Each structure stands twice: as C-alpha cells, then as structure tokens.
C-alpha cells in the first residue's frame, strides 16, 4: 500500500514539475530557515545580485567556527567595498542555544546575514557533515570552493578566491 502511495505521489510530482516555472540552476537546495527577526526565508532565494557570496555553517558553541567568523569580521568591510562579497552565516544551534544566536551576533558586532537552522534541515540538504563548513558561491549560486575545519589564514585564501572570481 505504501509503495502505491509513493508511486502515485511521484507521478503526481512529475505532473506538477512540468507545470512549474523552472528555477535557476543553483547548488543551493531549497529549505526553509528562520531569520533573526522571526521571518521564514527559503534558502533558494539566497543571492548577491550576481556577485559572489559565502555560506558559512556555524554554531555558537563551536570555537573554530567563531574564530573563523571573527577573522572574517576583522576585514569584512574591506572585502565588501573591494569585491561586493556577502557572508551568509547559517547557525545550526538547536532549541537549546538558538535564542542565544541574536544576542551572540550582536555582542560580537558581526555584520553578517544570519539565519537559523534549528533542526539541521539545511545542513543535511547541503550534505554538510559538521561545522565549520564554508562554501564560496559564484554570482549564479554555483559552488566555487569549500572547506571544512578552520585554520588561521584560511580566510586569506578565501579572499584570494573571491578576488579571482570578481577579477579584482
């Protein structure tokens, strides 16, 4: 019985898929996230007006994640002026520490776009094993490079790649 339902659903989905306006070919899997002001945001809307952007998976309790975001924050305003790059920070803090994310980010003076992924739905959809995991996307939402773990100096390598992408 369950299999019949699955088949029926998939056939039906095929029908719907054909009626849909196709989305832009991007490496970002569509998942709902929460913004810090309580709004529901779909990850498929992530973009930077054709300029490259970074998606960084992190958590308030993850020391290397915070070290990486601190290191980027030191030069973030220069990065933005020179290349127009944007950082989107996805917190995988669950309901234990989720409410800490907004005060944590404010207290650190971080200027990133921050979204909450409290049950790791987006982390799973993007096949991220563990945090920190940093993706660099080109203006079309294609993954250009990625790294997990953080070592001081990674941010400078990342910036070289951003400059290469923007021809700066």
Partner 1 sequence: MRLLLKNILPLLLIVFVFNSFIKVSAQQPTSSSNFSGNFEINAQTYTSDSAIEAPNVSEKILSNGYLNLNYSYNNFAAGIRYEAYQNPLLGFDAGYKGSGIAYRFASFTNDNLTITAGNFYEQFGNGLILRTYEQKALGIDNALDGLRVVYAPIKGVTIKGFIGEQKVYFVKGSGLVRGIDGDFQLNDFIPGWDLKKLKIALGGSFVSKYEKDNIASRILPENVGATAGRIGLIYNKFSFDAEVAYKINDPSFDNKYIYKPGEAIYLNGTYSKKGLGIKITSKWIDNMSFRSERGASLNNLAINYLPAISKQYTYRLSTLYPYATQASGEAGFSGEVYYTLKPNSKLGGHYGTTISINASSVRDIGRTPPSNDTLGYESKIYSIGNDVFYQDFSLEVTKKITKTWKLIATYIYQVYDKNKIEGKTDFQQVTAHIGVIDLTKKITTNKSLRFEIQHLQTEQDKKNWAMALLEFTIAPHWSISTFDEWNYGNEDSHKQFHFYNFGLSYSKNSTTLGCSYARQRGGLLCVGGVCRQVYASNGFNINVTSRF
Note the Cα 85 to chain centre separation in Å: 13
Which residues contact residue 81 at a Cβ distance below 8 angstroms, ignoring those fewer than 6 apart?
Answer: none
Q: In whole angstroms, how close is the CB of 83 to partner 1 at the nearest point?
A: 18
62 makes contact with partner 1 (CB under 8 A):
yes
Contact between 50 and partner 1 by CB under 8 A: the answer reads: no
Which residue among 75, 77, 78, 94 contacts partner 1 (CB under 8 A)? 94
75 interacts with partner 1 by CB under 8 A: no
Q: Does residue 77 touch partner 1 according to CB under 8 A?
A: no
140 belongs to the binding site for partner 1 (CB under 8 A): no
Contacts of partner 1 in 6-35 (CB under 8 A):
6-7, 9-14, 16-18, 20, 22-27, 29-30
Locate 27 and state its tokens.
């490496």
Question: Which residue in 77, 140, 149, 168 binds partner 1 (CB under 8 A)?
Answer: 149
Rounded Cα distance between 45 and 57, Å, is 17
Total residues contacting partner 1 (rule CB under 8 A)?
A: 71
In the complex, the smallest distance separating the C-beta of residue 109 from partner 1, rounded to whole angstroms, is: 5
From the CB of 68, what's the least distance to partner 1, in Å? 11
130 counts as binding partner 1 under rule CB under 8 A: yes
CA distances from 134 to 64, 107, 109 (A): 12, 22, 20
DSSP state of 127: T
Q: Quick one: which of 43, 37, 3 has its CA closest to 23?
A: 43
With helix as H, strand as E and coil as C, how does 42-87 read? EHHHCCCCCCCEEEEEECCCCHHHHHHHHHHHHHHHHHHHHHCCEE
Binding of partner 1 by 61 (CB under 8 A): yes
């Amino acid at each position: 019985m369950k299999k019949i339902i699955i088949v029926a659903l998939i056939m039906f989905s095929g029908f719907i898929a054909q009626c849909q306006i196709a989305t832009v070919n991007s490496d970002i899997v569509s998942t709902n996230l929460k913004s810090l002001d309580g709004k529901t945001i779909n990850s498929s809307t992530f973009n930077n007006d054709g300029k490259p952007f970074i998606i960084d998976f992190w958590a308030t309790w993850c020391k290397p994640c915070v070290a990486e975001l601190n290191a980027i924050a030191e030069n973030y305003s220069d990065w933005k002026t020179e290349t127009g790059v944007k950082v989107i920070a996805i917190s995988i803090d669950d309901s234990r520490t989720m409410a800490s994310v907004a005060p944590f980010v404010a207290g650190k003076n971080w200027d990133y776009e921050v979204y909450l992924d409290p049950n790791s739905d987006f982390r799973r959809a993007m096949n991220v094993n563990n945090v920190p995991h940093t993706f660099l996307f080109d203006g079309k939402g294609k993954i250009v490079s990625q790294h997990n773990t953080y070592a001081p100096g990674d941010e400078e390598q990342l910036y070289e790649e951003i400059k290469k992408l923007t021809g700066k």
